[in-house]
Each structure stands twice: as C-alpha cells, then as structure tokens.
Chains A and B, each alone.
Chain A
Amino acid sequence: MTVSHDVLSHGVLSRDVLVVGGGPAGLSAAARLAAAGLTVAIADEQPELGGQYFRRPSPAVLRAHGDHRPEGGRLIARVRELGVDCLTGHLVWGVADDGRTLFATAPDGAAVRLRARHVIVATGAYERTHPFPGWQLPGVTTPGFAQHLAAADGTPVGRRVLVAGSGPFLLPVACSLLDAGAEVIGVAEAGHPYTPSLRATAALRHPARLRELAGYMARLARARVPIWQGRVVTGASGDDSVSAVTLAATADPSRPVGTFAVDAVCVGYGFRPQTELARLLGCEIRADAATGDAAPVTDAFGRTSRPGVYVVGEAAGIGGVHLARARGRLTAAHILAARGGGDRREIVRLAARTRALGRFTALGEALYPSPAALQDALVSALPDETVVCRCEAVTASDVRAAATDRAGGDLNAAKSWSRAGMGPCQGRFCGFAVAGLVRAARGGERGEPVFPARQPVRPVPVETLLALGEQEPEGDAA
C-alpha cells in the first residue's frame, strides 16, 4: 500500500510516534498509543501487517481453511480503525545525520523521510541458521519459511520433510506441514527438552503455554512423527535438489547416526534479534553470552540509551509472541505516562505481566541448549569445504584462514579478508556461523557477536537516494 499524498508532505511523514515493524509487538504498541489519541505511523517492509507471527493467510487459504491466528487479524483491523498510518511495503533502511530521521523506500521506489518524537523499533528477529554441507541445495529451507508457506499459502515445502534444529518453534512448523499435507518423517531437536522435567518446571505457573506445546506433541504423536532428541543435521545431498539428509549426535557432530530420504529439510536454531536499525540509531548494544547474539540495552519500558528510541518485541531479545505483545503495550503505556497521561495501574499490571512472561521465557530457554554452546559444537564440526557465505561463495576454510592468519580473531576483519557477509543478505544467514568460526580462531574468547550495522540495512535503489537528495528538507543535518 502506498501512503496517500495528504499523509506525506514533500516526502516527509511526521507523527508523534513511529513504529518500525508491524508484528505483534509493534501492532500492540501502536494500538495502545493511537487509542490514547497520539498520531502513530507503522512502517513495515511486508505488503501486509502482521509480521511473521501474525502473517495474514492469502485470500484463497482464508476461504478454504479459515484464519489460523484470528487474533492477529483482529489486532490489525483495530490498528487500522484507530487511524494509524500503515506504511506497508515500506522498507526502513537508514538514518539521517540528525540521528533521528529515518529513510524508507515506498513500494513504488519513492523515497520517504519518517520523523517522530518517539521511535519504537519493533523489527523482530531473523531465524538462526547454521551452515552444513549441502545447505545451499534447493529444498533446504528454514522452519520459518516452511511455516510461512504452509500457514499463509497452504503449501507444504515438500512431500517428505525433515524438520530440524532447536527450540519450541520446530513443533508448530511440523504440525503446519502435516496440516498442509506433507509427510513429516521426523523432528530432530539438538537438545533434550522433551522429558518429564518439562512438566515439572514450566507447568507451575503457565499451564496455557504448556498446553500449547503438549497440543503440538499430541498432534505429532497421532501422525506418528518421531521426535529425535540430541540430533543435529550435518549434511544434505542431492543432484538438483535435496534428496537425502544426514543426522548426527549433537554431542559428536562428526559421527553420522542416520541418513533419510527427503525432498525438503527445514533447519533452524531459533531466532536472533534484528538489531541493525537500533544500532544505526546509536542504541547501546550488549553481547549476550548465552545466545552469542547482540541485544540492545533496554530497561523494563523498552527505553534504550538514545532518548526517545525504544526497542520492543523480539528485536529486544527473543521471548515469543506473548512477551512481545506485553512489551509493546508496556512501552506504549510508558510513553503515555511520560507525556502526562496514561494510567499508573496499567503500567504496574503490564510490568508484572512482562516480568512473569520473561521468567517463563527463561524457563523455556533453559530446556533447550544455549545457542552459544550449539554454535561452538556445530562450528567445530563444520567441514572446511562447506560454503558458509552463500552470497559470496566463501567456505569455512576461507573464514578460518582469514580469521587466523590475517584478522587476528577480529570478526569485522575476518569479513573483510574472506568476503563472508559482504553479499546482498549482509550476513543475515551466515553471520552467526562466521562469528562462531572467528571465535574458535580466537581460542573461544568472546568478541564482537555480530557484523557492524551498515546503511542501507537492505540494498536500496539508487533512484531512492536520488529522490531523497532532491527533497533536501530542512533539519536533516546533524
């Protein structure tokens, strides 16, 4: 959707609040703020709001199967009813020299400057991918892609599918694949989360969350889908596309334990916060020792080191949809309070809920292996000839050599010398593995967890830059 011309004045949109990212967190914040009378805009690069979790099914799927997440549809409808300017199809890719104005590209390539007193970064997460020999073959996807295809388009990613990686997300993906008509030959989970201790820990305060997980387990059991624990994918093979996938024990990834005939395999190790925009805005970042990721430093209200800039949802740290929505609402309530409005009790209630959900997230995380530990295990077993950076065709041995011989264990230097992460995806797919390889070259000592954030966040048409240069509105400079 392109914004009508009365919304934009010479390519500039100014509002009380700008939300970047129209997923659960961003929508929740926007709805609360707009309901209180603030002018709010949401920018999202996708053609429709919802983000990954509340992604809207296509009209045909909606007619045939109904809405798999009707609460998402209701939230989007409410945001629209409240008069929020919904800049769908708008890619926010950069920050002007004033450190506040954001640059976006509209679906037609037009350039847009976005300004607001309060900027809420709700950019969500990337899937945590890890390379293995053959991961560049057609038919190898992420669980998120398979979920998107199954839930939004009703299409399974393959006929015989293996789902692998780590984290609770693998279970709903396997169920969606079953619903879409695929044969799921198994779910390979790197850790050992599905034991009686699961009930003992998580069920105490959150029976609803446990029921959700148990529901998926029951669905898989009915379809006789095995769940293999302590297993990771270490290879895929095939001529034109994937035809076989090899599993190994997480504890010893160099020793294969089984090979399965498949026509699709979905591998993902959970999610990593998408922090580029927060970093371009100058927000302080910390390295998370457990996940091996970068996370913005935020307080309970989503405030960052930059006044007026908030980070909510998965971009602030992975916690799931319920925590994301609660964080979005809490940030909104805080903004209202800071403007002299809002409701004290609402903040107290939301803060308590956010804390409780945060505790549950921590309990859930404790069930699965920590991503940083998995990073170490998978990286150490990664064969030298594996293509790590698919954009630039850089192998594990290239990265190892660059990190050891030339970069002195510096992540950004390893990127320069090897070209890993220099392609169109800017390291979104290989970044986690490259960071792991560099860390191994440094003897395990932790350094920078992610590549530096660079403008543009995604490749941007030069035409857009030319249009921005011609607009030259006042007050863009630092």
Chain B
Amino acid sequence: MSARTADAVVIGAGVLGAAAAFHLARAGHRVIVVDRGAPGREGSGTTAGNLHVQAVHTRRPGQEVPLDSARFLPLQRAASDRWEKVEAELDASVELRRSGGFTIAETPEQRAELIAKHAWEERAGIATEVLDGDGARAALPLLGPTVTAATWCPLDGYANPLLTTPAYLAAAVRHGAQVRPFSPVRAVERSGSGWRVTAGTDAPIETPRVLDVAGPWLGEIAALAGIRLAMTPVAIQMHVTVRLPETLRHLVQHIGEGLSVKQVTAGNLLVGGGWPARRFDPDGRSPISAASVLGNMAQAARVLPFVRELRLLRAWAGPLAATPDEMPVIGEVPGAPGFLVAGGTYAFTFAPLWGETLRCLAEGTAPPVDVHDLGPDRLITPVSFEEAR
C-alpha cells in the first residue's frame, strides 16, 4: 500500500482529539483523526460534562496526591472564556448551560479551604462568593443541614458530552479533517524527520506531527513510539437517576470529598465525583463498584436531601488517564520532535483550551496560556505502561 500524508495525525477521537482536529483543520492543516473504536465512546462519552470554573475538590476518592488548585485556576479561567464561543464556532448546540455552581463544605477544615480557594480565584479573575451555611441554604434551599459553608461561582456549568465531541468532529470534517474510527494504531515510527503512523487496515500515514490524545491509552500509544510516560488509566463512576421536573439548576460540588451533582437537560440527576469503578478494563466496559454506588449516593443524599426521594436509574464507569501529580499533561515529548501529548484529569473542561493550545504547539507559535510546566518531560519514566498499570 502506498503511504498517505497528513500535516497532523491525531490519535484518539475523544473530546481533546476532536477539539485539536477542529483547531488544526480550521487553520488549514490536513488532519487525520484515528480511533481504536467509535469516536467519543470512552472518557469523553462517559464523563458528566461538568464545566469546572471555580476550584475543584483536590482529591478524588483514592487519589494519593492533591492537585494544585492555585496552578489550575488560571487554566480554568482561560477554558471558561473559550467555552463561551464553542457553540458559535462549531455552529451546533452542545446544551451549554452556565447556570453557576456551589462548592460546599461540611467541616471547619473544609470551610477554611473554601476561603483559601476564594482568594486564589480572585487572583485568577474568577468571581466567587463565600456564603455561610444559612446563606448557602437561602441561595439554594435544596442544600441539607450539614452544609456549613459554600462558594458560589456564576461561571460553573455543563455541556452535554454526547453532543460536544461529535460537534467538534463534525466541524473538523467540514474544515477537511478525515476521521477513521475503528482503526487501532498498530505502529508509530520515526520516518525521516517526521513520523509514520499505521492504523487499522489503512495504508501508513506519513506526517510531521503526531498528537497523542488517546486518554487512558495515551501511555500505550506513546510506548509504540518508544516513549515511556507515567500515566495511569483509572475508571471512575457516574450515577444517573430517573427524570424529574426541573429542580436543581446549579452544579453542586464538595470541596473535601468527591461529589458533583447536577440536573441535565433531559431531566435526570447526574451524580459523580470520581469514585472508582471495580477496575479499569481496557478491552470493554469497566465494571462498576457497588461500594462506590452506595458511597457516592449517600453523600449526594446527605448534601441534597431531596435525592432520597429519587430512584437510581443506571450507573456506569468511564476511563481517564491520571498523571502522578494529578496535573494535566500537554506538550511535546523531549527528544521526539513532532510528538505531542495532551491528557490528564478535567480534560472535558479544558477541551476548548487544549484544542487551541495543541494547534499552537503544533505550529510552533505561542500558546494562549503558559503550559511550560505541564509538559510530558516530568512523566518520562523507564517504567513501562504495563508495569504502571
């Protein structure tokens, strides 16, 4: 088979791959997106779709290292600005809703954390307001008696992940990108000064740039190119109740525990917060953990007592790729010119920002935010992907 060429090959048709493909294709680059399965079916199709603008809780259940909220916030601010333009850019609805969110505290320590994060948010230009327990209940009467404080951020919101990735891909295709689903990458090799990517049954693609945005498989793809990155695939759980009339307009999160609750456009209540599935299954659906169902739903019912009256409809698990320091990874791999990676937690919130940033990094222009400390250099390890898993 004769080789094809592209200006960039994007590996992974999740929300990051789709956003990167859109920004590259719109700028006139010839882009081919490949995915091992159907587009947007893994982390990007199973995420809750929260837009986290105020500081997130710093630990998922089971997470060892807290993330650095102060470093996160300027990135969240930049992502928030870009979400405003997404529907116009893509000429599609992604059910974007900026109805604001509360982050709640139940203990004195958590309350202190809220106050500390409020100061960082001010510095990052994110408007938040600190409320005491009664103030929070006055603003959101659905909150229960254990809530002792909350921060309100009008920018928090939601987009439908089942619309967002397809909308990015469709817009990328309109700008000339090619999408090759069900084409698992079999080889990524150096070829002259560029790369040769072999995926599915197609002819190999010669390209100067490879964007590895394969989510939980990011490390596995990098390993094909001989690059060892310390990324750990993790599967986390989501829970959805039966539909109910519009009841909760805002996103509700917990500062000290893994909990996020919101009502989606269809009317169902979505409860998440990063509780672990029973295990990560790379070849199918990760099985859910009943203990996580019980734990997460108990928190939700404690913070929002009306949840007690509902019925749980379904639970599922989706993968994400965690870095050892819980911070995102984005940048070119040192010693592998043209090989870019992007991933890590909160990828959905960051997607519009990382899409634009990846285009700049691929073009060699200055990215919209400083990401020099988020590069993959800190993840390069002699440990293989299989061992890390």
Interface residues of A (CB under 8 A from B): 94-97, 103, 392, 406-408, 410, 412-413, 416-417, 419, 422, 424, 426, 452, 454-456, 459-463, 465-466, 468-469, 476-478
Contact = CB atoms under 8 A, between A and B. Distances in A.
Contacts of B242: 424, 459
A445 to B, nearest CB: 12
Contacts of B241: 462
A455 B166 contact: no
Contact of B311 (A103, A412, A459, A477): A459
Nearest to B298: A469
Contacts of A426: 313-314
B312 A456 contact: yes
B294 A462 contact: no
B55 interface: no
Nearest to A101: B290
Given A455-B315, A462-B297, 11 more contacts: A94-B293, A408-B37, A408-B39, A408-B182, A410-B38, A459-B313, A460-B311, A462-B241, A462-B307, A465-B298, A466-B294
A416 B312 contact: no
A97 B266 CA distance: 30
Interface string B243-258: 0000000000000000
Given A462-B310, A465-B297, A454 B291 contact: no
B285 interface: yes
B171 to A, nearest CB: 14
A10 to B, nearest CB: 15
Nearest to A413: B38
Chain B interface residue bracket vs A: 35 or more
Interface in B252-304: 266, 278, 285, 288-291, 293-295, 297-298, 301
A416 B166 CA distance: 11
B298 A454 contact: no
B309 interface: yes
Given A419-B266, A465-B298, A466-B297, A478 B278 contact: yes
Contact of A469 (B294, B309, B311): B294
B162 interface: yes
B308 interface: yes
A413 B166 CA distance: 12
B291 A97 contact: yes
Contacts of A408: 37-39, 181-182
Nearest to B290: A96
Contacts of A103: 290
A456 B314 contact: yes
Given A97-B291, A408-B182, A462-B297, A416 B310 contact: no
A225 to B, nearest CB: 41
Given A97-B289, A97-B290, A417 B162 contact: yes
